[in-house]
Amino acid sequence: MLKLKVVLACGVFGGGFVCIVPAIAQPLETTPEAAKPEAAQASREGSESGLAEILVTAQKRAESLLKVSAAISTIGQRGLDDVGARSIGDATKALPNVSIASQGLSIRGLGVTALSGSGSTVAYHVDGVYQDHVQGFRTSVYDIDRIEVLRGPQGTLYGRNATAGVVNVITTKPSFDFEAKGDISYGNYDALMTRGAINIPLSDNFAMRLSGTYEKSDGTQRLVSGKRVDGRDLLTSRLALRWEPTDRFTIDVNASYVRQRNVVGSYVNNANAIFPNLIVGAPLLGIPGNNDSSNPIVVQMGIPRNRAAGAPGGEIAGLTSPFFNSLMALFKLGGYKSLYPGGDYNFRNRSHIDSISLKTNIRYDVSDAVSLTYIGGYFHEKNKSRNNAALPFVMDYGDLRANDWSHEVDINVETDRLRGVVGFYSFQHATHKATPGSIGIWQPDFPTLIPFGGSAAGLQPTLLPFVESVRNERDKDTTRAIFGQVGYSVSDDLRLIGGARYNIDKISRAIGTISLCPLGSGTDNGARPNEATLIPPLNALKACSTIAAAVPSFYLNRMTPAASKTFKQFSWKLAAEYDLSPDTMLYSSVSTGYKAGGITDASAAGSERFYEPEKNISYEVGLRTRLLDNRLNLSLTGFWTDYKDLQVSIVRNVNGAPKYVFTNAGKSRSRGVELEFAYAPTSNDRITGFVTYLDAKFRQFETPNVFLTAPGDNTPVIIDAAGNRLAGSPEWAFRVAYSHIFDLGSAGTLTPMASTYYQAKSYTYFTNGLQDRAGDYFRSDFNLKYETASKNFFVEGFVNNIENKRVPVVSVPQAGMNFMAYSEPRTYGVRVGFSY
């Protein structure tokens, strides 16, 4: 290992080599506007002689992908449509070593592994503005120029949360020609999507572009009640303006609005493989289990069977299996709706999100060699959700407000020998989240329970009294940074690059929980959640105020004073690029990444209160070349990344109660090889794909399992995760896609495209248990597109996931059980559209 590192490091200073491979499915044309970063325009076709040149702006300047010493892949709007991508998360199947989970993106096995915390290790940018919320991965991507994905730490130019890589979304900018396009598609699961964009030149130097999408579907999973989940109800809109008062001065402004009313996906209990003393559903009543995600009848969470003392997880006192079977019988038969007049405990999880964003890019070319750029961003989100995922009679609600502000000033310099950028960056993120929760049975109709064994189970109205709790969180993060990167041409063939960044991050958090009203039978507090009620009425708490005041013990934890901590870090990069020929480049690089630490829980004490920054150092070598008269593009990358204090989400006892917290894994490693290719044997044929090998493992990590105690002892068992694979890191993966254009002359063209993706087994959680395992699988797609000779009209049929293979993408341990979220099943449909 040491020998390899020395070789790679020496390669940097000795004019060595490192490269990355672009996903060259979407070539980009070189235009006279290419001197500006936004000028890299996507193109469907390559040149007559082969594949077109690809331009990217990953290093804050427009340049050929062949000349970038970083592991980068690109995909344009046509490529997204070809793979059936509705969102950036869907596009990951066409990108090497990139995967999606419910909490965000993962690159080379590194990503977010928590339900909350300091954010992902993959930085997500839209038009140069950092987005701090994972919802962006699921919103529709339409009317974009391209997506650029940089793999490996990008601490120098991007800084915040870029230890695993960066995703850049570059939207289509207004132009000074009229343009209009749109399409509508319909598929199974009653999936409807409409999209449209119009570009209007208002004068010789001022233009406007308006685009939007609407998407709605019923969802791909059913609850035992027959209701569907995983449904989408999504509206997006974007208004972009461009003003060019002079040839040297450009102002771009865009504002966007996103409205989500999604029925959030359910989690499926996958614990039986490890804990045979757990049941799912109610077997005595014929309700099938749900370990098999293809089963159309699934429940959102499993029900624990009463266990003897000393069994894994301990005993659940007072809750007998017949009691839970009675509840599940009512759940199965829709009894909750009839039990509680005006209330429905059998409701679907929902997420209501409204967000607006404003982005500004102002560029002034001071001279032919120097330019000044300001990038500003504002983001506001309101997120209301409800969830009864834990048990049918346990509910929680979420109400979140978030605001982000960012400012960046860049100075770019480019001469014959020298090119570089220096800049200043400022970011502030603030959230306020309130999470009311409920547990209990409100005014149960006791006689109704008798036919289902309620009396035999000892079910009494006072067994599950109503309890209302409210958890409040206030978070504020600020970042200040200065950075710079310079490249110098030692000769016509050799270039040396150096960069550095200094970050100051301050994290503050206040948190508190209030539990109210442990009420007995016959007490009506007036709050009855149902399908029409997202957040219970606030007067539900008013009835409890006098009781809580009289009995202060009902307040379990008041709002704690804000805890805060400041982190400072210097990051750097060194690289060397060498041209073997005009079409072949070798490069090597060594770079560092950093992700600020944070506050696990402001109510915790001592060392449990904070977790440390995550740091890494990465070595890369590679080759990029164009062969066969530009008909074959190859990119080969080798990388080795060492992590210190990798941030991992686990469950630990905090103040005597199990909570999800962040902790630091001592040492981790990610190493591997990536090969990407694009081949055009003829002007009408395209073959693209990639092959990856990934070895991503923990090297040092021990943590207690609060759900598993030693026999006869309440001491948690210690998990030694050294040697375990990181979540979402298959050892092998490959993808190959082929398309052929049949020229029908004046009748137009017919283009079939087929692709298949293979992934070796992986794990959804760091414990690498049987319950976390995602087996190896193939996933294939096919689409057939007819386009008129004028290219003004098209009709397309598509089918995704032909094998109908559903695999787990995330797991959430809860009370000794393991709950899984799965990928989508087979989807198919038809799309028609126009373009002028």
Look up the CATH number of the domain holding residue 343.
Answer: 2.40.170.20
Tokens of 126: 């839209």
Average pLDDT over residues 196-203: 97
Residue 607 makes CB contacts below 8 A (sequence gap 6+) with none
Amino acid at 243: W
Q: Which of 178-187, 514-523, 641-650 has the highest mean pLDDT?
A: 178-187
**Nearest of 389, 348, 226 to residue 296 by alpha carbon:** 226
Q: What is the pLDDT of residues 99-130, one digit of tens each?
A: 875 566 789 988 755 444 556 788 889 999 99
Model confidence at 561: pLDDT above 70 = no
Q: What is the pLDDT of residues 474-486, one digit of tens each?
A: 888 999 999 999 9
Q: What is the pLDDT of residues 803-828, one digit of tens each?
A: 998 888 877 666 555 666 778 889 99
Q: Which of 115-124, 199-208, 276-285 has the highest mean pLDDT?
A: 199-208
Q: What is the DSSP letter of 440?
A: S
Q: What is the pLDDT of residues 405-440, one digit of tens each?
A: 999 999 999 999 999 999 999 999 998 876 655 444
The total number of structural domains that make up the chain = 1
Q: Which pLDDT does position 496 carry in this prediction?
A: 96
Structural domain containing residue 532: 2-835
Q: Where does the pLDDT of residue 454 fall: very low under 50, low under 70, confident under 90, or very high at 90 and above? A: very low
Average pLDDT, the chain: 74
Q: Which of 50-59, 219-228, 304-313, 505-514 has the lowest mean pLDDT?
A: 304-313
Model confidence at 40: pLDDT above 70 = no
Model confidence at 285: pLDDT above 50 = no
pTM over 0.85: no
Give, in order, the Cα–Cα distances in Å from 172 to each of 62, 616, 652, 793.
15, 34, 46, 20
Q: Which pLDDT does position 79 carry in this prediction?
A: 85
Q: Which pLDDT does position 415 carry in this prediction?
A: 93
Q: What is the pLDDT of residues 19-39, one digit of tens each?
A: 333 333 333 333 333 334 444
Q: Which of 25-34, 261-270, 552-561 has the highest mean pLDDT?
A: 261-270
**Nearest of 94, 102, 122 to residue 110 by alpha carbon:** 122
Model confidence at 492: pLDDT above 60 = yes
Q: Which pLDDT does position 707 carry in this prediction?
A: 63
Tokens of 510: 């206040």
Q: Which pLDDT does position 298 carry in this prediction?
A: 29
Average pLDDT over residues 543-556: 39
**Nearest of 410, 240, 468, 312 to residue 816 by alpha carbon:** 312
Percent of the chain residues topping a pLDDT of 90: 43
Model confidence at 453: pLDDT above 60 = no
Average pLDDT over residues 761-786: 88
Q: Which pLDDT does position 332 carry in this prediction?
A: 36
CA distance 832 to 787: 10
Model confidence at 682: pLDDT above 90 = yes
Q: Which of 76-85, 135-144, 749-758 has the lowest mean pLDDT?
A: 135-144
Q: Which residue has the higher pLDDT, 348 or 222?
A: 222
Residue 688 makes CB contacts below 8 A (sequence gap 6+) with 23, 24, 25, 677, 678, 679, 736, 737
Model confidence at 302: pLDDT above 60 = no
- The shares of helix, strand and coil residues in the chain, as percent rounded to the nearest 5, are 10, 55, 35
Half-sphere exposure (Cβ direction) of 404: Cα atoms closer than 13 Å: 21
Determine contact, residues 643/152, Cβ cutoff 8 Å.
no
**Nearest of 332, 338, 352 to residue 223 by alpha carbon:** 332
Q: Which residue has the higher pLDDT, 255 or 91?
A: 255
Q: Which residue has the higher pLDDT, 584 or 337?
A: 584
